[in-house]
Homo-oligomer: A and B are copies of this chain.
Amino acid sequence: MARVIVDVMLKPEILDPQGRAVQGALGRLGLAGVTDVRQGKQFTIDVDGVLEGDRLALMERLAGELLSNPVIEDFTMRVEQ
């Protein structure tokens, strides 16, 4: 079994209102010095067997096309076999 972890985050140049709201809330609740907050998504995907070759390439393609929106988001993917 392999586990794939895909982190999806808005590109740095895209405004992140959710992150901005969290930044404000952290400050109001007493945490000083917060300079930036970004909120993204994380997917944990369990697959049977070893993920390699064509299946790994397809997983990477789908991480970029299904799990994230390439116009506004970046993703990172790591595989734990």
Closest to A2 in B: B33
Q: Is chain A's interface secondary structure helix, strand, loop, or mixed overall?
A: mixed
Interface residues of A (CB under 8 A from B): 1, 7, 9, 19, 22-23, 25-26, 29-49, 55, 58-59, 62, 66-67
- A35 surroundings in chain B (CB, below 8 A): 1, 46-48
Closest to A63 in B: B26
Sample of 5 A–B contacts (CB below 8 Å):
A9-B42, A31-B59, A40-B41, A40-B44, A42-B42
Closest to A30 in B: B58
- A29 surroundings in chain B (CB, below 8 A): 58, 62, 66
Q: How far is the CA of A33 from the CA of B72 in the complex (A)?
A: 29
